Structure formats: structure tokens, C-alpha cells
Copies of this chain bind each other. A is one copy, B any other.
Amino acid sequence: MPSYKAPLKEYRFLMKDVLEIERYSNLPGFADASIDLIEQVLEEGAKFCEGVLAPLNKSGDEHGCTRHADGSVTTPPGFKDAYKQLVEAGWPALSSDPAYGGQGMPHIVALAWSEMVASANMAFGMYPGLSHGAYAAIHQHGSDAQKNMYLPKLVTGEWTGTMNLTEPHCGTDLGLLRTKAVPQANGTYRISGQKIFISAGEHDLASNIIHLVIARIEGAPAGTKGISLFIVPKFLVNADGSLGARNGVVCGKIEEKMGIHGNATCVLNYDDATGYLIGQENKGLMAMFTMMNVARLGVGLQGLSQSEVAYQNGLAYAKDRLQMRSLTGAKNPDGPADPIIVHPDIRRMLMDAKSFNEGARAFAFWTALYGDLLHASPDEKVREKAGDYMALMTPVIKSYLTDRGYAVATNCQQIFGGHGYIEEWGMSQFVRDARIAMIYEGANGIQALDLVGRKLGANGGRAIFAFFNELDDFAHQNEDDAELKEFVDAVKGAKAQLQDGTMWLMQNGMTDFDNAGAASHDYLNLFGITALTYMWALQAKAALAAKKNGGAGDPYYDTKLVTGRYFLARTLPDASAHLVKLKSGAEPVMALAAEAF
């Protein structure tokens, strides 16, 4: 039976020492969130995730969800009770707006909570996770009446939410969508059509489900310019907030999937369902993107969450399993063999995992802090930079963290040998669950295109140049720090390569768009490695400072430094390969005509 232990010390180190969030105690939300309070909150969260959610993960995978003839769906045993506990403890409200009953904590705290939930039970975590996306869209784009009607119960978790985009013939290309909305005299719409791959689309956890649905109003322009966003509750809501009639949306099927069996992935059939327009007609796609950007950070974190829990279990097995002797002499001479952690190739897989996890977590939290500043800072300049960074980093986090998270989970499964392949040990599930994160919320190839096609050039490249400046500043400010030298050199080297790749894209991606497309995957990976190199430099600096400030006796800080050095020696070298590949451009990729395959 796999287990999970929340990385609380990592959260504290990141927030206190690396990001120094107490600097922001003048901002709303942060004022009431001292490091110690955050730690208390996360400790409570850890207990819930470790004690309630993690034990349901494997059985959730085994049982999956069951659809009944009437379209209702039963979640795996234990999920309903766990969800009830979740709601009673108030977790869904953690970072929500106090105006609607939320606790108003910084998003960075909610991010830590989300990681713990996803590590403990990714399929379960998607139920409240999707609700948060629906909350965000209504909060940002809904009318006051809509906010008052739907937000309070999404905030408590009494109701959950969904995002309805995909149809059988279109996922990425939403301009093709066919679900139609017919205006009614009373201002509502009749929604008809079929949506597929709707996570948490139907279940027995909550009394109502608030579907956010994109559809085309009759007579609207073709393509993405004719898409509107609607609220379609499973049960209509009366003016007093009580539940009314069952709406015309039914789960027609749940999919058999590779993983996340505990989450119901539904075909939803809309048949003259009553929908309420949210925001303006034909502006639905932009409103949906609001939800998707929130969701994309969360999905990136899912990649990390599976590599973290896979690492923890791989590590435990590596310490426990006795097999062969160390190449440099027995380390466990009294036992029949040495624990496999003594073998360098096992250690390589563990260090790959550890250095990725801690670097990736820093990157996600560093970015999430900009998400908080974007909303909370009174300084327009800060908000502008924060918005730039959020836009720029989101596709990198979504794609790099999920690609690598899957690879790391696969490696940790490998540590178990044959035992990793059988379901009994739970490692297969981490890999199977991690796999979806590379696909949904915009497949990783789409993220790479978003990065090179939209984010890089926005506002004349303002965001990427700000990032380059930040890396230069870091190198400059720490030039004389002998202890930090290898990290500073690494940041310089990685930045030079990323800049080289960026310049190549700017020169060649505009003259032939296929150059941008062909380079996008390697550019995104080069970006991810550079970002994690910088995160390791920040962590190394914070660890050195902490050692000088009374932490010298804590091996934690030395472990940080050793782990960071591993990243520089064993992951950073991939940056050059990505640079060479991306600069080879479209020619090798496109030379074979489509018909010649």
C-alpha cells in the first residue's frame, strides 16, 4: 500500500526563506497569513490528505465510478464521506473571496493545499479542483446576481463546478463547436448539444453541479468569435437559493480511461437545458480562458504531485528492498544484501526525482506568488510584471512539470522492478494518473505553441525581457559570493542559451511560422530547465543564508545544496541539446510531405 507524507518543511522553506512572503504583509490576504499561521493551516491540511484522502487513492483506482441507467453516477467507496469532511472543514473556501464566504488566504497557500490533495488522491482532488475553476469564471465574469446565487455554495463546496468545452469533433479547435444556445423571451437560453471528457461531470458528492458551458447562440458568427459562455446548473436554483427542477443535462456515459478512475469523466448530453449567459454574447472564449489559466497552473502541479508521491514511495522501497551488494563493498554486511539505495543507478533515479520535485515546486510557488501580486498589489508596475510573468510562465509550468512529472513517476516505478508493474504496489497508478496531466487543459504541444506564438511576443517581448533582466540582476548581485558561484555560473549559462533560442525564434519564427511550431517543444523545455536552474540558485542562496542564520546544525540546508548541484550536473546539460534541436528549425521536421508518410 503506497503512502504519502506532505512536504511541509519544503513549503515553509519556500515561503519563508526563498520567497520571503512576509515582505508582503501589507497586502490583503497576506496580512493575516504569517508563516506560522500558514504552517498551522497546512499541517491541518496535511493530516486530512495523509489520513483521509491517501488511503482512498488505490481503492478509488480499483473501483472507479459507476454510471447507473438513469444517468446518475456513484463515486468510489469512501469518496462521499471524504468529500463531506472536506466541506465541513472548510477547505474549498481557503483562498476564495471573503465577500462570498471565502477565507481570503493567498493563492500560494491554496497551491500548497492543492499539491497535497493531488499527491494524496489526484482523482478525488479534481472534484474540488474543477469547482475552483467555475468559481473563478463566475467571480470574474458573472453579474452580481449570478455571483450571489452561485459563489457562496461553490465556496463552501456544497456545490461543485465543471468546465464544458470539448465535443466529439473538437477539443483544441473550439471554433468548430456545435452546441447551440437558443435565446428565450425570459432572457435565458435553451442549450442543446453533446460535451465529452467532462471531468467531475456527474457524481454523488454534492447536491448540485454548476456546469460552465460554451455554446454558440443561434445566428452567432462562425468560429471562435461566436462562442458564448453559459451557466447550466444540474438543478435550477430558486430565487431563495433552494434547489428547483432538474435541468436538461444528463450523463450519457462515463469513459474507460488509463487512470484517474476515481473521477467521473462524462459525456454530458444537453437537451434544451436552461442556461444563463455569463459575461457578454460571443465573448465566451475569453471568459473560459480565465478558468483555463487557473486550471493550467493546477494541472502543472498535478504533474509534480504524482512525481512527488511516486518519489516518496520509490525512496521507501529503495531503502527497504535488499538486493545485491554495493559496488564499493557491502553497506549492510549483516543482512543478506544491501538496500538498493546504495546502487548509483537507483540513486540517480531518486536524485532526478528529488531535484526535479523541489525545483518544480519552487517554480510553481514563485509563479503563484505573482498570481497573488497581480490581484493584491496596489502598485501598477508590480501588477503589470506579475501579469506578464503569469502569462509567460503558465504554459511552461503546465507542460514542463507534467512531461517531467510523468517521466519521474515512470522512473520511480522502475525502482520497484517487477513489483512496479503490478497494481498491488500502487506505482502503476501514479504513472497512469500522471499521464492525463500532459493532455488535458490544452495538450502540452498547444502549451508550447501558446508560449512561442502568443506569450513570447506579447507587448514587444516585455515579459521575457523582464525575466532575462531578472536573471542578469541575480548573476550580477551574487557575482562575488564564492559559495554560490556554481549556481550563479549555471544561471548565466542557462540564460545565455535561452536568450540565444529566443533570438533565433524572433528572427526565424516570424518569417516562417513553421519554424516557431517546430521549435516550440524544445524551446519550452529549454525554458523549463532555465527556470528550474534559477529556482535552484534561489534555493541555494536561501539555504546558505539560513545556515548562517542559525540553521547550520540542520542537515536540511546541506541537502538542499547537494540536490541543487545534482540538478546542475545532471539535468542542466539537456539545455544545450534542446537549443541545438530548436535551431535546426522546421526543415527537418517538415521535409517529409504529409502524403509521403
Binding site for B on A (CB under 8 A): 166, 169-173, 176, 196-197, 255-259, 265, 315, 319, 322-324, 327-328, 331, 336-337, 339, 341-351, 354, 406, 410, 413-414, 417-418, 420-424, 428, 431-432, 435-436, 438-440, 443-445, 448-449, 453, 512-514, 516-518, 520-521, 555, 558-559, 562-563, 565-566, 568-570, 573-574, 576-577, 580-581, 584, 586-592, 594, 596-597
Measured between alpha carbons, how far is A590 from B336 in the docked complex, in Å? 23
Measured between alpha carbons, how far is A349 from B336 in the docked complex, in Å? 46
Knowing that A172-B323, A319-B594 touch, tell me 15 more A-B residue pairs with CB under 8 angstroms.
Answer: A171-B417, A172-B324, A172-B417, A197-B418, A258-B423, A327-B513, A328-B513, A344-B517, A414-B443, A414-B444, A421-B436, A565-B588, A568-B588, A573-B581, A576-B576
Are B422's CB and A443's CB within 8 A? Answer: no
Measured between alpha carbons, how far is A573 from B322 in the docked complex, in Å? 38
A574: which B residues are within 8 A, CB to CB? Answer: 574, 577
Are B344's CB and A514's CB within 8 A? Answer: yes
- Known A-B contacts A171-B323, A172-B323; the reply to A347 vs B590 at CB < 8 A is yes
Are B423's CB and A439's CB within 8 A? Answer: no
A558: which B residues are within 8 A, CB to CB? Answer: 596
A432: which B residues are within 8 A, CB to CB? Answer: 258, 432
CB<8 Å pairs between A and B, sample of 20: A171-B323, A173-B323, A176-B322, A196-B418, A256-B422, A259-B421, A319-B597, A327-B453, A341-B597, A344-B518, A344-B586, A347-B592, A349-B445, A351-B589, A420-B439, A432-B432, A562-B591, A563-B592, A569-B581, A569-B584
Measured between alpha carbons, how far is A323 from B448 in the docked complex, in Å? 17
Are A323's CB and B170's CB within 8 A? Answer: yes
Measured between alpha carbons, how far is A573 from B525 in the docked complex, in Å? 14
Are A589's CB and B347's CB within 8 A? Answer: yes
CB distance from A164 to the nearest CB of B (A): 13
- Known A-B contacts A562-B591, A576-B577; the reply to A421 vs B445 at CB < 8 A is no
CB distance from A423 to the nearest CB of B (A): 4
Are B439's CB and A421's CB within 8 A? Answer: yes
CB distance from A348 to the nearest CB of B (A): 5
CB distance from A135 to the nearest CB of B (A): 23
Are A566's CB and B580's CB within 8 A? Answer: no
Measured between alpha carbons, how far is A256 from B432 in the docked complex, in Å? 14
A597: which B residues are within 8 A, CB to CB? Answer: 315, 319, 341, 350, 354
Measured between alpha carbons, how far is A256 from B315 in the docked complex, in Å? 23
A257: which B residues are within 8 A, CB to CB? Answer: 421-423, 428
Are B418's CB and A440's CB within 8 A? Answer: yes
Measured between alpha carbons, how far is A590 from B255 in the docked complex, in Å? 44
- Known A-B contacts A344-B590, A566-B591, A592-B559; the reply to A421 vs B435 at CB < 8 A is yes
Measured between alpha carbons, how far is A562 from B316 in the docked complex, in Å? 47
A590: which B residues are within 8 A, CB to CB? Answer: 344, 347
A562: which B residues are within 8 A, CB to CB? Answer: 591-592, 596
CB distance from A412 to the nearest CB of B (A): 13
Are B414's CB and A589's CB within 8 A? Answer: no
Are A345's CB and B173's CB within 8 A? Answer: no
Are A566's CB and B594's CB within 8 A? Answer: no
A444: which B residues are within 8 A, CB to CB? Answer: 414
Are A176's CB and B345's CB within 8 A? Answer: no
Which of the listed residues A170, A265, A594 has the most CB atoms from chain B within 10 Å of its own CB?
A594
Measured between alpha carbons, how far is A100 from B54 in the docked complex, in Å? 56
Are B594's CB and A327's CB within 8 A? Answer: no
Are B428's CB and A345's CB within 8 A? Answer: no
A413: which B residues are within 8 A, CB to CB? Answer: 435
Measured between alpha carbons, how far is A590 from B439 in the docked complex, in Å? 35
Are B418's CB and A166's CB within 8 A? Answer: yes
A448: which B residues are within 8 A, CB to CB? Answer: 345
Are A348's CB and B570's CB within 8 A? Answer: no
Which of the listed residues A406, A428, A448 has the most CB atoms from chain B within 10 Å of its own CB?
A428
Are B440's CB and A512's CB within 8 A? Answer: no
Are B594's CB and A521's CB within 8 A? Answer: no
- Known A-B contacts A328-B512, A348-B521; the reply to A555 vs B323 at CB < 8 A is no
Contact of A423 among B256, B349, B586 (CB under 8 A): B256
CB distance from A571 to the nearest CB of B (A): 9
Query: Who on chain B is nearest to A567 by CB?
Result: B588
Are A414's CB and B428's CB within 8 A? Answer: no
Measured between alpha carbons, how far is A11 from B134 in the docked complex, in Å? 54
Measured between alpha carbons, how far is A347 from B169 in the docked complex, in Å? 21
A169: which B residues are within 8 A, CB to CB? Answer: 322
CB distance from A419 to the nearest CB of B (A): 8
A344: which B residues are within 8 A, CB to CB? Answer: 514, 517-518, 520, 586, 589-590
Measured between alpha carbons, how far is A176 from B438 in the docked complex, in Å? 41
Query: Who on chain B is nearest to A555 by CB?
Result: B596
